[in-house]
Structure 1
Amino acid sequence: MGGRTFLVVVGTPDLDSAHRIFSVMNSRGLDLSPTDIFKSLIIGDLDERTAQECARKWEDAEEALGRDDFADLFLHIRMVFATRRGERELLKEFPEQVLSHYLPGRAKSFVNDVVVPYADAYVQIRDASYSAASGAEQVNAWFKRLQQIDNNDWRPAALWALRTHGKDPAWLDAFFNALERLAASMFIRRVYTTPRVTRYADLLRELNAGRELDAPSFILTDTEKTETLDRLDADLYLVARTRKYVLLRLDEMLASKPGVSYDHPLITVEHILPQNPKRGSDWLRHFTDDQRQQWTHRRPKRRPSTSPASMASPPSR
């Protein structure tokens, strides 16, 4: 065997090239991920005993999150450190913007002070599993609300909060109240990615500067408030991405049950005022054409439905 074995050394100019070559040559098993590269850089900076300890912690964190969520975690960590939107691939930016603070010489600190606590925070947010002697229910309720929004751009700020104030549930309650208000407003107004991420980047810079609960980026301008209210008062049913979120939040408020979860396999939004009432029905007698046009798709005349039996419009007489 030894006589038929050849060792080939392949040199590359940068990590990006190394990753690309490995991906091409690795015909079996899982593809090499950026986090695998980062792990090799960190472990390679440690003595053998410390390397084994940190490798175990790293692998435990990856197992707790799963491969995909663990990869997402590093995107969020990059955002926390860089406080700006990514411009290049993670494989290039993460070493420059994050690992450069720890390599060489502080690799153990990166594992203990960054990977482990941020992975733990990620699990608490994802699973709404924050625990405390008191106040945990309110914090977990905010996690459930935020996860109804159709993007994760709020998550780096949430991770920062748990990482820095994880033992203060009252502070977290106030923080996530403000964060959900901001996230919900941008969601309802359909703010697109670039200004949305820029707003969260500004927030992270303010948080790192010590502004915390009074961070200016939390505050909605008068224009933003007006636009949010206008969107809520418009034909909400026709905005498919936001209508369910808004109605479930209203349902939670009306039920006075914070953080209520909706685990039904199907949740639909149904009209109380029928879209196509039958000729001669009371709907046509009590509502003019103009009134039906105004109210059919608007918020006060709808409710969420979870069972087929409740999906039918009220019977006409």
Structure 2
Amino acid sequence: MSINATEKPLGKIFTSDYRFVIPSFQRAYTWQTENIAQLVTDLQDACHNPGTPYFLGSLILVCDGQTKYQVIDGQQRLISLSIIISVLRELEDDPELIESLNDLIVEPGDKLRGIKAEPRLKLRERDTNFFRMYVQEGDLEGLFDLRDNDIESHAQRNIAINTRQVFDELAKMPTQDRRAFASYLVNEVTLVIVTTDDLAGAHRIFDVMNMRGVPLTASDVFKARTIAEISPAARNAYASRWDDIMDPLGDDAQTLEAFFSDIHLIISHKAVCTQLLEEFHKDVLKPYAKKQNVISFIDDLLAPYANAWRIIDHPTDANLPDDIIGQLVALNDYQTTDWKPVAMWALVNSIRNLGNPGTRIFSTPGTHAPTATRTSKKDLEEPQLHDLERLHDVLVALERATGVDSLNRQTPLSRRTRSASTIRDLDKNHTIQQIRGLLITDEDRRSALAHLRGELQTSPAMRKLLLVRANEQRAGHRIIRPRSLNALPIMPEQVVSDSSFATWPEATRDHWANRIGNLALSQANDKQIAELVSYEDRRDRMLLSPSSKRFPLTAELADIADCTPQTLQYRQDETVRLIADYWNIRYDAERNDLSTLSEESLSVKDTSTSPTSKRVSIAQVLEAGLLIPGETLVWDRPRKGERWVATVTAEGKLRMDDGNEYSTPTAAARAVGGSSAGLTVWKRTSNGQKLSDVWKTYRLRTR
């Protein structure tokens, strides 16, 4: 077995030297919006320092031919980088730069050199065509036109949602900044390429790199620097004290880096920390060292904040009042963690003896601590709680701000800036109303409720969170959740002729497919109800488990014999109102009830010139004069001997020859051509222009 390792910039990796293939045994693409948003934010921060490389880890590859390599480690990053490059290409209008970006993800081919034109990265069989069509070959308009029931796998859904996230973020950048970002990405972002010709050997390399010879963590580095500042007589005692504090947090490098990054934000009030080792030392450790008081850093800062971190990780086991536990549980529902520094600050400043090793932090003695450090119950003291009302109010306002930011798809930088601003004002002992970081404006309210009213462009976890909030508001208390809990559609994704939903107009089904009124919490899962086509069967399966009936909005389905569009409208109105009440965003400054307004009325007027990934409707394109009512579109399929014709209606639909009307081009294409068809197949009969190009013209019209 031969092994080769070399560090290369991205521009030398996405070339004809490498054809990446994801083996069938690899897991699917699992990155969430938070993962890819953080990558984009980190790269945006890094590109402000041109000439300073950004190391993105290693790729472990098995040579499977002259230039073909199986990817053993690095799939998530390769797919995410391809998405970023695809979006940069979509937003670019310089033909030369478009070609350069395109060459990074699609091999243009060279007949003289015997190189076939094909994507540089091939996914697992189930997802490869989807990724190739929409991302690598650049049909982003088709991707944005997809609805949830057009998507066949979780990996494809992650690809679609993450592409939207990246598009919305990069579209905000001025053209020159975005081009500088692209240049930095290609020339300064580096990876170590580890190649071997043996699959078993590659797995051994993966094990070694991930499980053996673990490099120093941030905790190791800061411990060494801190203990060195302590007098020799106390050095051993405080080395042990450090271990007692940090061992319960575990030894995962990313977790420890996040912990120290949060402490850095709490002390420095700086939202961004790109060089943790240097900046933590300068902003946090150095002031203690100057005062020759690093022992105070360990006892008065590190210890209480480490215990606050542990409480946040295991809130239901904490020795705290139920209402405080409930708020921490609610915060842990979020996939984002930018709220953690504020919650840590609030706990540390509300429990006087939180850093004391003898404090009974958890209800069960020794819970979540290494065996060697467990203390008997009689030796522990109770937490010295003070100003519990303020602690509760801070956590409630923090959860509210986190929820609104999540609905409004704020970037990691915006969320972290909010946390830094909040702690700055908390340190000044401001009231909740005076804390700028916890302020929710009328614009925030309207935008959040518009997202609730409209099609939910969120992850399954966020959908579940929203329904939990609505159900708990309706119940008036925190509901104990079963281990398995899902937000499931009441209406099936695919409606067949014998379904009770088949009598609904297609436009009505299309309207409700991705709205919160069509969702209910249940212990059942997607697979268990996927084949159930009638409302009665789906309802009964959702209610089969007694745990599902704990949620009042689910339990009330038992009293609904027949589901109609009016049923879903009622549930939509009630759910939006409950969430608005939960977060106290129902009324604006003039006491207008925003929860009763339509999505269109709530939408905040966008005065920016940045395009977004929001789905473009036929009606919008008609209003802009880019399509004409009554004109025809055609989809020719000469190999199958088929020709489909659609007419654009004045109401913003596509009407087929059989009279059926569809509200999106993708829905029309899939109705006649199958699941692989999309927006890009349609062409105008007047000039042969692809409909996807018309959509792109509309999306980018403001630039």
TM class by shorter chain equals 0.7 to 0.9
Work out whether 1:101 is the aligned partner of 2:296: no
* Letter of the structure 2 residue corresponding to residue 290 of structure 1: A
2:331 is matched with 146
TM-score norm. by structure 2 comes to 0.38
> Within 2, Cα distance between the matches of 1:197 and 1:72?
12
> Within 2, Cα distance between the matches of 1:210 and 1:310?
52
**Within 5 A, what are the aligned runs for 1:248-263?**
248-258=468-478, 260-263=480-483
**Within 5 A, what are the aligned runs for 1:51-90?**
51-68=235-252, 69-90=255-276
Q: Tell me by how many angstroms 1:151 deviates.
A: 1.2
> Within 1, Cα distance between the matches of 2:409 and 2:392?
25
- Give SS of 2:502's match: helix
Q: Tell me by how many angstroms 1:250 deviates.
A: 2.1
Mean Cα deviation higher: 73-82 or 41-50: 41-50
Work out whether 1:118 is the aligned partner of 2:305: yes
> Within 2, Cα distance between the matches of 1:121 and 1:270?
35
Q: Tell me by how many angstroms 1:175 deviates.
A: 1.1
Cα distance 1:223–1:67, how it changes in 2: closer, same or farther (>3 A)? same
1:8 is matched with none
Is the Cα contact below 8 Å between 2:418 and 2:437 reproduced in 1? Answer: yes
TM-score norm. by structure 1 comes to 0.82
Higher relative strand content:
2
- Give SS of 2:469's match: helix
Q: Tell me by how many angstroms 1:235 deviates.
A: 1.6
Is the Cα contact below 8 Å between 2:393 and 2:432 reproduced in 1? Answer: yes
1:195 is matched with 414
1:290 is matched with 507
1:174 is matched with 393
1:47 alignment partner, one of 199, 222, 231:
231
**Within 5 A, what are the aligned runs for 1:238-317?**
239-240=459-460, 242-258=462-478, 260-264=480-484, 267-279=485-497, 281-285=499-503, 287-308=504-525, 309=528, 312-313=532-533, 314-315=535-536
> Within 1, Cα distance between the matches of 2:494 and 2:313?
41
Q: Tell me by how many angstroms 1:73 deviates.
A: 1.6
> Within 1, Cα distance between the matches of 2:272 and 2:447?
28
1:225 alignment partner, one of 426, 445, 448:
445
Q: Residues 39-68 of structure 1, C-alpha deviation per residue, up to 9 Å, x if partnerless?
A: 122111212332222222210111111123
- Give SS of 1:62's match: helix
> Within 1, Cα distance between the matches of 2:461 and 2:443?
22
Cα distance 1:77–1:89, how it changes in 2: closer, same or farther (>3 A)? same
Q: Residues 116-156 of structure 1, C-alpha deviation per residue, up to 9 Å, x if partnerless?
A: 11011111111003324xxx111111111111112111111
* Letter of the structure 2 residue corresponding to residue 163 of structure 1: V
Is the Cα contact below 8 Å between 1:188 and 1:231 reproduced in 2? Answer: yes
Is the Cα contact below 8 Å between 2:401 and 2:440 reproduced in 1? Answer: yes
Work out whether 1:131 is the aligned partner of 2:131: no
Q: Tell me by how many angstroms 1:262 deviates.
A: 4.3
The structure having more radius of gyration, on CA atoms, is: 2
1:206 is matched with 425
Mean Cα deviation higher: 95-104 or 275-284: 275-284
> Within 1, Cα distance between the matches of 2:481 and 2:293?
42
The total of aligned residue pairs comes to 285
Higher relative contact order (Cα pairs below 8 Å, separated by 6+ residues): 1
Higher relative helix content:
1
* Letter of the structure 2 residue corresponding to residue 131 of structure 1: N
Q: Tell me by how many angstroms 1:90 deviates.
A: 0.7
> Within 2, Cα distance between the matches of 1:123 and 1:81?
19
Cα distance 1:310–1:139, how it changes in 2: closer, same or farther (>3 A)? farther
Q: Residues 141-189 of structure 1, C-alpha deviation per residue, up to 9 Å, x if partnerless?
A: 1111111112111111111111111323332221110000000111111
Is the Cα contact below 8 Å between 1:237 and 1:243 reproduced in 2? Answer: no
Cα distance 1:217–1:56, how it changes in 2: closer, same or farther (>3 A)? same
Provide structure 1 residue ranges, at least 5 long, that are not aligned to the other structure.
1-26
